[in-house]
């Protein structure tokens, strides 16, 4: 990785870190302060976290596909390792944790954990979290130059978050099996 792209990457990481810290402060403030419309604020933060998480889940397989195009030990391969690690640790994992925290708060406080749509949604989100776990494992394997998957298998895996997202959004908006 050259110096210029290294410092650009560090700045991006710093900006993402600041955004994350702000997000956590607002989230903690919401739970502690006596805020009107807390539910709507929590829902807004939930949707922001979910969008960030989904962006990573949809982009990561693309990175693996480009990574597989480059030889082990090449400069490009090393750059992809940094991009994958940063995407996973600075964006995807914090966004997943925050999606769960805000989502579970609403599920318990607002819906008392009741509703077929909610249970189905949680099942779909658990599968999505499993896909996240598999990608986290792949990031570690690619970092050790012990690559897993083929461009075709990563293209196929790319469809899983898309299909799950469609199911999840329909369940939470339409709320069938109430």
Applying CB under 6 A, the residues found at the interface with ligand HEM are: 43, 46-47, 50, 54, 99-100, 103-104, 106-107, 110-111, 122, 125, 128, 165, 168-169, 172-173
Least distance (Å) between residue 110 CB and ligand HEM:
6
Contact criterion met (CB below 8 Å) for 5 and 79: yes
User: CA separation (Å) from 18 to 13, 105, 114, 129?
Assistant: 9, 24, 36, 25
Least distance (Å) between residue 146 CB and ligand HEM:
29
Q: Which is nearer to ligand HEM, 106 or 136 (CB)?
A: 106
Q: Which is nearer to ligand HEM, 144 or 173 (CB)?
A: 173
Distance CA 26, CA 38 (A): 11
> To 5 degrees, how large is the angle CA 149–CA 154–CA 158?
155
Q: What is the torsional sign of CA 36, 39, 42, 43?
A: negative
Distance CA 84, CA 88 (A): 6
Least distance (Å) between residue 104 CB and ligand HEM:
5
Q: Which is nearer to ligand HEM, 83 or 107 (CB)?
A: 107
Both tokens of residue 62? 């693309």
Q: Which is nearer to ligand HEM, 60 or 80 (CB)?
A: 60
Distance CA 40, CA 97 (A): 19
Q: Which of 78, 57, 56, 77 is nearest to 67 (CA)?
A: 77
Least distance (Å) between residue 62 CB and ligand HEM:
18
Q: Which is nearer to ligand HEM, 63 or 107 (CB)?
A: 107
Residue nearest to ligand HEM (CB): 103
Least distance (Å) between residue 39 CB and ligand HEM:
7
């Amino acid at each position: 990785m050259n110096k210029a792209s290294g410092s650009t990457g560090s700045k991006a990481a710093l900006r993402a870190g600041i955004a994350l810290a702000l997000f956590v402060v607002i989230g903690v403030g919401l739970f502690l302060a006596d805020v009107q419309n807390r539910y709507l604020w929590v829902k807004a933060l939930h949707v922001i976290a979910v969008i960030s998480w989904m962006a990573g889940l949809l982009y990561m397989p693309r990175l693996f596909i480009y990574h597989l195009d480059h030889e082990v030990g090449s400069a490009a391969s090393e750059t992809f390792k940094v991009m994958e690690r940063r995407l996973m640790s600075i964006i995807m994992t914090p966004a997943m944790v925050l999606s769960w925290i805000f989502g579970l708060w609403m599920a318990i406080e607002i819906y008392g954990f009741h509703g077929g749509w909610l249970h189905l949604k949680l099942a779909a989100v658990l599968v999505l979290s499993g896909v996240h776990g598999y990608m986290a494992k792949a990031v570690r394997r690619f970092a050790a130059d012990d690559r897993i998957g083929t461009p075709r298998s990563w293209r196929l895996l790319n469809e899983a978050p898309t299909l799950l997202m469609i199911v999840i959004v329909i369940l939470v908006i339409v709320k069938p099996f109430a």
